[in-house]
Chains A and B, each alone.
Chain A
Amino acid sequence: MKVADLGAAELGARLKGSGLYLRTGPFVSRIRSSISSVSEGIGLLYADYPLAEQNDFADFHVGLSRPPTIRRWFHPQAVFDFDGHVPFKPLPLDQAYPLFEWGLNWCVSSHAHQYLMIHAAVIERDGHAAILPAPPGSGKSTLCAALVNRGWRLLSDELALIRRNDGYAVPLPRPVSLKNESIGVIRGFEPSAVINREVRDTIKGTVAHMKPPTDSVSRANETAKPAWVIFPRYRKGAAASLQTRSKGGALMAVADNAFNYSLLGLAGFHMLADMIHACDCHDFSYGDLDQAVEAFSALQPPAP
């Protein structure tokens, strides 16, 4: 059963009641909320996602609610809770949906240490995964959104999960986070893309989320072997340019972008070194998404 099969009324009832048991990649989240924007966002962006059995095991128990303070009457807020704890300060109620997405990211990045977790987008084509690590502002999510609208499969726009036993990338396809100008850029690039309501004045500026392609959601059990590590950087007016990056430099940069590299210790070093060894590593600058798509289309997997 999928979220879309529930209908808006039943979705809202589950969120307000015992919770929505949502399966995203390898995780099940139990989500509770009586905030309408959260229900609407989930209904729109997670329509294709499978539901786990109601009241089954859940990796993450999360809730979005309005704190019962006097502020609820003149500056209403939303608070995210995880297993009964509140890890973040409340945000304005209007930011409840982005807070839900950020909270779920936090749940994974703080707990899923069975994986090497890298702050990176991951996309796949013909069984080969491209890992796109980058700090905020590099154009990573914009590039990812464009590529998954042009035939690449979305594994994640935010969290690369590298499996410890074989080094494969495990999909965690979730809505793609877009910020500021990127929202209009992707609307123009792919008018059929489903993007939810823009939320302004967040800590990241104006944010919105793009629904992942249905195919990416339905193939969330298909892992992929990393073939490329590509560090994207948007530069206004720049021609698309792919430059080889040394493997040592790439390893250091990926380690800087990993959530739990230090925590995994020597095992993390060997995992990361094995991944880098097997991948072609590049810096990629671009100023135009069509050119970027063309450059990615020309990528050849490394020789075995």
Chain B
Amino acid sequence: MHRAVVWKVEDGARFHFRRWGDECVAYDNATGDTHLLDPVAAELLVAVRQAAATTEELVQRVASRLGTGAGSDLFSALESALGDFERLALVRRVAQ
């Protein structure tokens, strides 16, 4: 049976953000790493930090926050960003 991937952040309070216009810098207090995020990536990290969610649910949340449509371009961008986040240990995938 197919199980949707759910993305989760361990201890969302570990992230600290600063924003300047479209730019966002996130400090990860768990690792000491600092990440420069574009607007989509920043909203994605904020969205997944709110609550664990599938990629589809995250697309809806991010689209709502950015005030854009939840189209295939956004889906692709988020899939790619989630892969980057996973490699950086910012998020992890859990089975639903």
Contact = CB atoms under 8 A, between A and B. Distances in A.
Are A and B associated in one complex? yes
Contact of B36 (A252, A262, A270, A273): A252
Chain A, interface residues (CB within 8 Å), range: 10 to 19
Interface residues of B, number: 12
Interface string A234-266: 000000000000111101100100000010011
B25 A277 contact: no
Given A265-B32, A269-B27, A248 B20 contact: yes
A94 B36 CA distance: 45
A248 B24 contact: yes
Given A262-B32, A266-B16, A273 B25 contact: yes
A248 B25 CA distance: 6
Contacts of A273: 18, 25
B34 interface: yes
Contacts of B16: 266, 269-270
Nearest to A274: B18
Nearest to B24: A248
B20 A247 contact: yes
Nearest to B26: A269
A262 B34 CA distance: 9
A33 B25 CA distance: 47
Contacts of A248: 20, 23-25, 36
Q: Which of B23, B34, B36 has the most CB of A within 10 A?
A: B34
B14 to A, nearest CB: 9
Interface string B21-48: 1011101010010101000000000000
Nearest to B33: A262
A249 B36 CA distance: 7
A260 to B, nearest CB: 12
Contacts of B36: 248-249, 251-252
Nearest to B42: A248
A251 B21 CA distance: 14
B24 A266 contact: no
A249 B37 CA distance: 10
A210 B87 CA distance: 47
A246 B20 contact: yes
Interface in B45-84: none
Contacts of B32: 262, 265
Nearest to A266: B29
A247 B23 CA distance: 8
Interface in A276-297: 277
A153 B36 CA distance: 33
Given A248-B20, A252-B34, A265 B29 contact: yes
Contacts of A262: 32
Contacts of B21: 246
Q: For B16, B27, B29, which residue has the most chain A Cβ atoms within 10 angstroms?
A: B27
A246 B36 CA distance: 11
Contacts of A249: 23, 36
Contacts of B23: 246-249
A263 to B, nearest CB: 9
B39 to A, nearest CB: 11
Contacts of B24: 248
A273 B34 CA distance: 11
5 contacts: A246-B23, A248-B20, A248-B25, A251-B25, A277-B20
Please provide the 10 A-B residue pairs with the shortest distance between their CB atoms, ordered closest to farther: A248-B23, A269-B27, A247-B20, A273-B18, A248-B36, A248-B25, A252-B36, A266-B29, A262-B32, A251-B25
Given A246-B21, A248-B20, A249-B23, 14 more contacts: A246-B23, A247-B23, A248-B25, A248-B36, A249-B36, A251-B25, A252-B34, A262-B32, A265-B29, A266-B16, A266-B27, A266-B29, A270-B16, A273-B25
